[in-house]
Structure 1
Amino acid sequence: TDGSSRRTRVISRTFRKNHDIYDRQVFTGPPEQTRDYVMMAAKALMKGDWKRCANLLTSLNVWPLVPGNTAAQQIKDMLVEKIKLEGLRTYLFAFSSQYDSLSLSQLCGMFELNRTEVHSVVSKMMINREIFASWDQPTETIVLRKIEPTSLQLLALQFAEKAAVLVEANERLLDAKSGSYGYKEDYWKGDNRGGGFQGRGGFRSGGRGGGRGRGRGEYGRGRGEGRGRGRGDYGGRGRGDYGGRGRGEG
């Protein structure tokens, strides 16, 4: 149970959004911004190419800004070691179904890790049921078991995917109604033609100088609507705070 919940948990919503945008691109050129470097490094790590991932992350332009003479190099060395470990985990996640068995020495050579580190990582994945495998101690081999999902499990996975899409749509709708957006790329959106902002109980302004508002008054409900032809011009028609009717043009 712990392993399944860990696999389905979303670590970073922003990273997932950027990753989806990166996957939908027809052509991806050389990385230019820091985000491009991170996305390309993540794609390389998903394929088990930890060396390319490490080269991309260690070649960022931000490392000279780290204070200290040897601090940047120490962080790079630590990052490379972490990439090796996570590269091993990612490789087993992605390609374990293609193998019947894996040699311990083979994994050590692929990821340049010692036998103790590889044995520890793989054993933890077995205990957490992240992979279905067992150790063959005499030959130091990982014997992988292929477990095909049943028809009920396949239907449950499809239902979970559709539910996740529905949850995401509801989150976007809630963000739109509350005036804040969960994704960085989603800017303030409004129906105004000149660009502006929209708020609850407030007004919506645009580049043409028009305003439109609907709000709730202090002692009663009111609805106002106005149009202006230029800056500072406004017109209104509405009901007052105390129920009296009034009309004004400006």
Structure 2
Amino acid sequence: MERIASDRRVSLAQQLVLDLSRQIAAGELPAGTKLPTEQAFTEARGVSRTVVREAMSRLQAEGLVETRRGIGTFVVDTPRPGDVLDNQPEKGTADDAVAICELRLSLEVDAAAIAAQRATPEQLQAIRAALDEANAVGPLHKDSGRIEFEFHLQIALCTGNSFFIDAMRHLGNTVMQGGQPALTEPQRARLVREREQVYAALLCKDADVARAAMRLHLTNALHRALSAAQAATG
């Protein structure tokens, strides 16, 4: 019974961490925002003070909040995805694109599997919105890079893991900035199917399928990057 109670407490704390992490990442809780008191959280969420303290400790360890003794807990200033992209001085080379795809394969595949297990209904709605926007624009759209990035970032946010999230934001400095490679209609249709397969796996909370779908999606992106690099070198 003690183990069950402990697991339930951890689960409740994890859910609170996920919810607050998402709100911070989305800008709903901007830097400097003072979080509610422990008492306010316990009344609003129906959880114990221990759960709230565990959640605050984890958020603080992840660098998302800081506690000022006698004053309260505040959201820390963290980079937003738009800031990352706007501060980028120049595009990477075709070889850089290949290297980035290789890195993303080692990062986002497992992130998708974790997201499938942890995504909340609200987070799935955010992914659906980002997916619809990505599917609606063509690769030559001036904001296609940012829009595609948002779809992948929303998936990373579902992990509730600040290291996954920070890594994705830093990748925003070099990935998908000048729009997407020119695609034929069959290639574009395949790209849309790949995204939909990732989303369907998240919706079904199937970690293995999410992992496989993201691997396929990024492997095809790697193949396109390799082709572009080869074309650039003649």
Q: Same fold (TM over 0.5)?
A: no
Larger Rg: 1
**Bigger share in helix:** 2
More strand by share: 1
Higher-RCO chain (CA-CA 8 Å, sequence separation at least 6):
2
